[in-house]
Amino acid sequence: MNIVILSRNENLYSTRRLIEEGDKRGHTITIIDPLKCDLVIEKDKPAIVYEGRYLTNIDAVIPRIGASITFFGCAVVRQFEMMNVFTLATSDAIMRSRDKLQSLQYLAKAGVGLPKTVFANHTSEVENAIAQVGGTPVIVKLLEGTQGLGVVLAETPNAAKSVLEAFNGLQARVIVQEYIKESKGADLRALIVDGQVVGAMKRQAQAGEFRSNLHRGGSADYIRLSETELKLATKTARVVQLPVCGVDMLRSQRGPLVLEVNSTPGLEGIEMATNKNIARHIITYIERNRH
pTM, full prediction: 0.87
Residues 162-165: contacts with CB under 8 Å, at least 24 apart? 164/120, 164/123, 164/126, 164/129, 164/140, 165/123, 165/126
Q: Is residue 228 part of a domain?
A: yes
Whether 206 shows a pLDDT value over 70: the answer reads no
Quote the number of domains for the chain.
3
Does 135 map to a domain? yes
Where is pLDDT greater, at 121 or 234?
A: 234
Cα 225 to the center of its chain, rounded Å: 19
Q: Percent of the chain at pLDDT above 70? A: 91
Average per-residue pLDDT in the chain?
89
pLDDT band at 200 (very low <50, low <70, confident <90, very high): very high
- What's residue 240's pLDDT? 95
Note whether residue 187 is domain-resident: yes
The CATH number that applies at residue 207 is 3.30.470.20
Same domain? For 160 and 192 the reply is no
My answer on whether 171 and 187 are in the same domain is no
Higher-pLDDT residue of 147, 118: 118
Q: Are residues 163 and 194 in the same domain?
A: no
Within-domain flag for 103 = no
pLDDT of res. 87 = 96
Residue 196 included in any domain = yes
Q: What is the pLDDT of residue 130?
A: 83
Mean pLDDT in residue range 118-131: 73
pLDDT at residue 83 is higher than 80: yes
199 phi/psi in degrees, rounded to 5: -175, 150
- The pLDDT of 180-195, averaged and rounded, is 90
Q: What is the pLDDT at residue 121?
A: 65
How far apart are alpha carbons 274 and 55 in whole angstroms?
37
In this predicted structure, the answer to whether residue 175 has a pLDDT above a threshold of 80 is yes
Nearest to 59 by CA among 94, 26, 108, 104: 26
Per-residue confidence (pLDDT) for residue 291, from 0 to 100: 59
| 280 domain-assigned | no
To the nearest whole percent, how much of the chain has pLDDT over 90?
Answer: 63
Least confident of 81-90, 104-113, 198-207, 243-252: 198-207
DSSP 121-138: SSGGGHHHHHHHTTSSSE
pLDDT bin (cut points 50, 70, 90) of residue 69 is very high
Q: How confident is the model at residue 51 (pLDDT cuts 50, 70, 90)?
A: very high
Q: What residues are paired with 61 via a beta bridge? A: 4, 87
At 211, the pLDDT band (50, 70, 90 cuts) reads: low
User: For the residues 87-108, what does the mean pLDDT come to?
Assistant: 92
